[in-house]
Structure formats: structure tokens, C-alpha cells
């Protein structure tokens, strides 16, 4: 058997060492990219398939939200949209709120209303102009000479009260609100609809380094954080599923977090001089009433007006059409939103809040309307 020369052995050893070093380097890069991906976002609970947004095209909720840089807001609407969601036009302002753009500074005498809520206030399944805050503004403007009523609807489907108050503090205060309307619903102590996704960094079916290289060769931007959906059964009563909630989000849910958000709203109201009204459709829970009373927030409930409408129109169930979108979807229909708007506008007028706010913004010399009978 022929022997190998010392030089051949050195070449083989050098080649083997170089190959080992290259493999070790690639392995270390793979570990680094996995660690980087793992630190980028918290663990997710479900799956949302992203879709391409085409102007005027039909979309799902998962297509029109994106991660927020604020971990207590979690996600937000994509700004600058003009698409169709559930058969209704969805426009979003440059600030990422549903509806037309509202300048931070007033350009006319106007009462500013900032709405905090989730899918009900957002206007799930109804037109922008049929959502109850938009209707309420029209009703109040018709009886408030010399002053407009401008609405900034910050509501996003799936938000809870903690996220809503954080949105007010981070974004809504820029609009100098005179009135903040907080929409309370039954799942406001639970989890939001989405979390940011953490990829499975232990999976051997994917190379994070290879994904990065492929993306760069294709000229694609580096993938940012994605959102994943939270299962409905986990979302509504989140406290019972804390083991499935990423640690950074556990402060968003439960009675203590909700109460803390309400107290924060009261502090912001005192600091910035705006009124707060809590609205519940159709009714609030007992603890909601107690908290609103303790904090000095008026509570408006629509149940009596909804049931009166149902009796007058022969509707047997207020949780079904024509008061809701469908039998399976209890979100209020355009009819339901009109009732909510009327109840809220009537309360603001009869309580004197509407005229108090209008007087603050009305141009000097404008006649004050006679008190409502």
C-alpha cells in the first residue's frame, strides 16, 4: 500500500481543519440568527395567514393589523388603508385610526371626541358613517350652533381596556380631546385578538441563516415581527390560561390590570382636562358600575332603549337581526349603532356635558342654544 508524503498529510489536515472551521462558523451563524429571531417577539398562540393588501380589495382582520412598537398596545391598524372588510369600506388615517384624517390642531371651532374601544366602537361589519361615534357627532352638531364635533375613533377589534387606555396616552392625547368615550364590553378583562409571533428556534426543518441569505439574494427586506391569533376560548377568559400567555403580556389581563387602566384614565382626565363617559351595550357588569361610580365616570347603558326598539318593531331577541349583523355575529348592525348613538347623544345633551364642551370651543359671539326640554 503506497504511503502518503508528509506534504500530502499536511494538505489533507489543513483542508479538514478549514472545512471544520467553515462548518463551525456556519453553525455559529445559524445559532446567532436563531437567537436573534427568538428574541424578536414573544410566543404566539395561534395562526394568522398574512395576505397582500390591494387598494379596494377584500381583506380579513389579520391582513390589516400590524405589530405595535408599544408592548402594551401590542398591535394596531395599518395606516393609509382603503379596502373592504366584511362588506364595508375600511379607511384608515395616517395615524392608523378608522375614518378620515383629523389634524392634531383644530382648524375650526370644534369639540374633540376620542373613542376608546374594540370591535363594537370600531364599527365591525358596518360602514364608517354608520358607526355610532360618527352618528353621535352628527346628532350633536345639529344642535350645537357655531361648533363642530370631530371624532377620532381609536378603536381596534380585539382591544381590551388596558390596550385602549395605553392607546389614548400614546396617541389619542395628541388630539387634545374634550371628551373620551370608553366602550366597555364583556371581554375587556381578557386577552387581545393577536400577539406577536416567536418562531420555533429549535426546529430542524428550517435554517434561519439560509432564509436570511435567500431573502437578501431576492432583494427582499428582512422579515419583521408577525402577528398570531389568540384562540377564542383562551381570549375571553384569559386569567384561566395564564400558562399560555407570553410573560410580557400577562399584565394586560385580569381584574387588577383592568382596574389599574381605569384609574390611569381618571388620572389622565384630571391632568388633561377632558370628560370621560363609559358606555356599555347593552348593559355593564356590576363591577363596571361600581368602578365608574367610584372614579366619577358617568355610565351610559343602552339596554333599555334597545329593548324598547325591539318591542316597537316586533323583534323577539335583541341579540339577533335586525339589531345585530347576523344570528351568529352579535355585533350591532347599522340599526344597533343608530340606537347607541341616540342614547349617547341624548345623555350628553340632557346631562349638560354637550353644551359645556361646546361653550368651551364655540367662537365668541355665537348664540347659545336654549336648554333641552
pLDDT of 229 above 90: no
Closest Cα to residue 147, out of 178, 122, 181?
Answer: 178
Q: Collapsing DSSP states into helix, strand and coil, what is residue 72? A: coil
What superfamily would CATH give domain 108-192+253-361? SGNH hydrolase (3.40.50.1110)
Percent of the chain at pLDDT > 70 equals: 77
Q: What is the average per-residue pLDDT within 11-19?
A: 72
97 contacts: CB under 8 Å, gap ≥ 6: 77, 152, 153, 154
Q: What does the pLDDT read at residue 87?
A: 94
* C-alpha cell recorded at residue 66: 400590524
Q: What is the average per-residue pLDDT within 241-248?
A: 73
Q: Contact, 126 vs 135, CB < 8 A?
A: no
pLDDT band at 173 (very low <50, low <70, confident <90, very high): very high
Average pLDDT, the chain: 85
Q: What is this structure's pTM?
A: 0.80
For residue range 54-100, list pLDDT tens digits in order: 888 999 888 899 889 998 999 999 999 999 999 999 999 999 999 99
Q: What is the average per-residue pLDDT within 313-332?
A: 96
> Which stretch of 123-127, 187-191, 237-241, 268-272 has the lowest confidence by average pLDDT?
237-241
Percent of the chain at pLDDT > 90 equals: 62
Domain ranges of the chain: 108-192+253-361
For residue range 107-142, list pLDDT tens digits in order: 999 999 999 999 999 999 999 999 999 999 999 999
| Four-residue CA torsion sign, 262, 266, 272, 275 | positive
pLDDT of 237 above 60: no
Q: Contact, 338 vs 131, CB < 8 A?
A: no
Bridge partners of 27, per DSSP, are none
Q: What is the average per-residue pLDDT within 264-276?
A: 98
Q: What does the pLDDT read at residue 21?
A: 73
Q: What is the average per-residue pLDDT within 223-249?
A: 67
Q: What is the average per-residue pLDDT within 209-222?
A: 56
Q: What does the pLDDT read at residue 35?
A: 61
pLDDT band at 40 (very low <50, low <70, confident <90, very high): very low
295 contacts: CB under 8 Å, gap ≥ 6: 262, 263, 265, 266
Instruction: Give the integer Cα–Cα distance in Å for 90 and 95.
Output: 14
pLDDT of 22 above 90: no
Q: What does the pLDDT read at residue 24?
A: 74
Bridge partners of 116, per DSSP, are 182
Which residue pairs from 61-70 have beta carbons closer than 8 angstroms and sit at least 24 positions apart in sequence? 61/85, 61/157, 61/158, 61/193, 62/194, 62/227, 62/229, 64/90, 64/92, 65/156, 65/194, 65/227, 66/227, 67/41, 67/196, 67/224, 67/225, 67/226, 67/227, 70/166, 70/170
Q: Given the DSSP bridges, would you call strands 179-184 and 275-280 parallel, antiparallel or unpaired?
A: parallel
For residue range 332-364, list pLDDT tens digits in order: 999 999 999 999 999 999 999 999 999 999 977
Q: Contact, 347 vs 277, CB < 8 A?
A: yes
Q: What is the average per-residue pLDDT within 102-111?
A: 95
pLDDT of 50 above 90: no
Phi–psi pair at 280, nearest 5 degrees: -125, 135
41 against 259, higher pLDDT: 259
Among 219-233, 235-249, 317-331, the range of highest mean pLDDT: 317-331
Q: Contact, 232 vs 190, CB < 8 A?
A: no
Q: What does the pLDDT read at residue 194?
A: 81
pLDDT band at 191 (very low <50, low <70, confident <90, very high): confident
How many residues appear in the chain?
A: 373
> For residue 168, how many other CB atoms are within 10 A of its CB?
27
Q: What does the pLDDT read at residue 346?
A: 98
Amino acid at each position: 500500500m503506497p504511503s502518503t508524503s508528509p506534504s500530502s498529510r499536511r494538505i489533507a489536515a489543513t483542508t479538514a481543519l478549514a472545512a471544520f472551521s467553515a462548518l463551525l462558523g456556519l453553525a455559529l451563524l445559524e445559532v446567532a440568527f436563531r437567537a436573534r429571531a427568538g428574541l424578536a417577539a414573544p410566543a404566539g398562540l395561534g395562526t394568522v395567514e398574512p395576505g397582500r393588501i390591494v387598494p379596494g380589495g377584500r381583506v380579513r382582520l389579520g391582513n390589516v393589523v400590524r405589530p405595535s412598537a408599544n408592548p402594551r398596545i401590542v398591535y394596531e391598524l395599518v395606516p393609509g388603508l382603503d379596502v373592504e372588510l366584511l362588506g364595508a369600506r375600511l379607511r384608515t388615517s395616517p395615524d392608523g385610526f378608522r375614518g378620515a384624517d383629523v389634524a392634531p390642531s383644530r382648524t375650526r371651532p370644534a369639540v374633540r371626541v376620542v373613542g376608546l374601544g374594540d370591535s363594537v366602537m370600531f364599527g365591525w361589519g358596518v360602514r364608517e358613517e354608520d358607526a355610532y361615534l360618527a352618528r353621535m357627532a352628527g346628532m350633536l352638531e345639529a344642535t350645537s350652533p357655531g361648533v363642530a364635533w370631530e371624532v377620532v375613533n381609536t378603536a381596534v377589534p380585539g382591544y381590551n381596556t388596558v390596550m385602549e387606555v395605553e392607546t389614548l396616552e400614546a396617541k389619542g392625547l395628541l388630539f387634545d380631546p374634550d371628551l373620551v368615550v370608553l366602550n366597555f364590553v364583556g371581554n375587556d378583562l381578557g386577552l387581545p385578538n393577536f400577539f406577536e409571533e416567536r418562531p420555533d428556534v429549535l426546529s430542524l426543518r428550517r435554517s434561519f441563516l439560509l432564509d436570511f441569505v435567500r431573502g437578501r439574494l431576492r432583494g427582499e427586506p428582512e422579515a419583521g415581527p408577525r402577528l398570531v391569533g389568540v384562540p377564542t376560548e383562551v381570549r375571553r377568559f384569559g386569567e384561566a390560561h395564564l400558562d399560555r400567555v407570553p410573560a410580557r403580556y400577562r399584565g394586560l389581563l385580569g381584574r387588577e390590570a383592568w382596574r389599574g387602566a381605569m384609574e390611569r384614565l381618571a388620572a389622565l382626565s384630571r391632568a388633561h382636562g377632558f370628560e370621560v363617559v363609559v358606555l356599555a351595550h347593552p348593559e355593564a357588569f356590576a363591577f363596571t358600575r361600581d368602578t365608574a361610580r367610584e372614579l366619577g365616570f358617568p355610565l351610559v347603558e343602552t339596554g333599555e332603549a334597545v329593548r324598547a326598539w325591539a318591542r316597537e318593531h316586533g323583534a323577539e331577541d335583541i341579540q339577533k337581526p335586525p339589531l345585530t349583523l347576523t344570528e351568529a355575529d352579535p355585533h350591532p348592525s347599522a340599526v344597533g349603532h343608530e340606537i347607541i348613538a341616540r342614547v349617547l347623544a341624548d345623555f350628553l345633551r340632557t346631562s349638560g356635558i354637550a353644551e359645556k364642551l361646546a361653550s368651551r370651543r364655540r367662537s365668541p359671539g355665537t348664540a347659545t342654544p336654549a336648554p333641552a326640554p
